[in-house]
Chain A
């Protein structure tokens, strides 16, 4: 006992190495030092690009004109207000969000409930959930472009078998829009399902047993137990899905290229067109700033909902 006490005392009194004395910092300074690498990294990859984007949006900067960048203040934003394609693509984006986010939530919820059933072999169900999620967006777009092909597509083939004449999906703005929305719902509902499935698995089985004893049927259990307890998972899934829906690009780009006309073009596609095709970085940046603000608004709304619920 005595020996061990002495050893401890000696250890305490031992001088720290010289290099640590050189770094004899206050708690606050140490905290700043430890946080600095992450803060610098975040600044470089997030804060700087966003700030640079906002900065560029105040300039007339078209690489095709060969003219130097010229500060034009809010001119790009004024242009936007009078630009019918901006309004059309923004409306398309909002509409895609309003249709596909609830659509994916409902389908995702159904898939999650299905995957949560006590199957003897779970992995095929889980794998079938993962496949659409793991598939690249552009690839999903290509697959569904083929599915909806007027001559060789599976969809028209099925319709024909039921005696319904096939349609030229991508010739009609409404049908093309519907095809895109269905594809997005198929592609994204698995992500929703995975998050909801994770939420479902945190609900203790005993709650359902208690509800069984209390006399609640399956439907009542879903509305009184499952749904309220899934709220946090659903809100998280909605935040992610809504933000990515506002940035929809790949699927309509691969399926219709925005056509017919610009009827299925989204804001992200319009930004891409202005910056990459037309090399108009000033206007493209202003459009991107608007999309960024739109995403931020949605995030703030959802976060407020979470806080209120909390």
Chain B
């Protein structure tokens, strides 16, 4: 096990900067998830840690060693690839044992490690099969098994669940979490799926355009998003955003609704006068009974009953918002609802910078 340290890490292709100076300290045994939309640089960063991409600037340390110039095999890492990258002509046993064979581990020792990993992942009965004879989920487990037998200092996962169907994805996700609890090795995991990030991570690193947007525990990124981007990226359905302006002691919305600033701004109202804001409210934070002063008037556009709850879509000005309401609430389209807000769960962002106002 080892810590991983990224300092001013950069990657450029010609004049195009893909990763723009990332600084990150990953603790020994920590499960860190890189998440972000396509092209944000998350996979490139992971591949730089693996040594599969050269770095254009900065420094990568694994444990106490600077590994900038080291080949992947010298970094003591193991990687699970998006397409699993299992050797199709080798059996599961040979796939899992390949790295041990290359490193000259004795046959007896290798066999012991393979069987141990296979038992851990429940693939003992598949050891003599070839990857072509396995299902997607089984291949995924074999790919993890291949990584485990190495007993590396760091595990790297590059979108390992994206080729699985939704049900299997849930199962394997749980297995990965269980595996981390069992072996406790440092894991860096890349995904574009915020649910995977929230469920697996000790800490989430949200990337955007080659920069870190926010680093924090799942609770922190969910409850204290530092920007509109993070607020919108984490959570499903996504956080609602409505434009509003600070007018005197109230926050005024495009539909004429006014909310008392004193309750929302929590002591910050002095700096806000006359400012345009973006108000972020998660769909699940609307309530049907609340302080009458803290309500928004919602003219219902579309209603989606989900069984467990009802999603109600409504407009405030030109901003479409969604509220997650109890399942027995089934308003008709066109109906007017007064949706209450818990002021502690309303997020305020500067309209110009899109950063949170603290």
Contacts and interface: CB of A to CB of B under 8 A. Distances in A.
A126 to B, nearest CB: 24
Q: Which of B51, B87, B146 lies at the interface centre, i.e. has the most chain A CB atoms within 10 A of its CB?
A: B87
B279 to A, nearest CB: 44
A210 B78 CA distance: 9
Nearest to A214: B99
A225 to B, nearest CB: 6
A214 B98 contact: yes
A212 B71 contact: yes
Contacts of B82: 206
Contacts of B72: 209, 212-213
A224 interface: yes
A204 B83 contact: yes
A204 to B, nearest CB: 7
Contacts of A211: 87, 98
Interface string A194-221: 0000000000101101111111100010
B85 A207 contact: yes
A213 B88 CA distance: 17
Contact of A224 (B79, B85, B98, B103): B98
Contacts of A215: 73, 99, 102-103
Nearest to A203: B88
Q: How would you classify the secondary structure of chain A's contact residues: helix, strand, loop or mixed?
A: helix
A214 B73 contact: yes
B83 A206 contact: yes
B87 A207 contact: yes
Given A214-B99, A215-B102, A209 B81 contact: yes
A124 interface: no
Contacts of A224: 87, 98
Nearest to B98: A214
What secondary structure prevails in chain B residues at the interface with A? loop
B102 A213 contact: no
A221 B53 CA distance: 18
Given A212-B71, A215-B103, A225 B50 contact: no
Interface in B130-154: 146, 150
Given A210-B81, A214-B102, A216-B98, A229 B73 contact: no
Contacts of B51: 212-213
Interface in A32-47: none
Contacts of A206: 81-83, 85
Contacts of B150: 214
B142 to A, nearest CB: 12
Nearest to B156: A213
B85 A212 contact: no
B52 A209 contact: yes
A206 B89 CA distance: 15
Interface string B29-63: 00000000000000000000011100000000000
8 contacts: A207-B85, A209-B50, A212-B52, A213-B50, A213-B51, A220-B102, A224-B87, A228-B89
Given A212-B72, A220-B102, 8 more contacts: A206-B82, A207-B87, A210-B79, A210-B81, A212-B73, A213-B52, A213-B78, A224-B98
Which 8 interchain pairs have the tightest Cβ spacing?
A214-B99, A215-B73, A210-B85, A206-B85, A215-B102, A212-B72, A228-B89, A213-B72
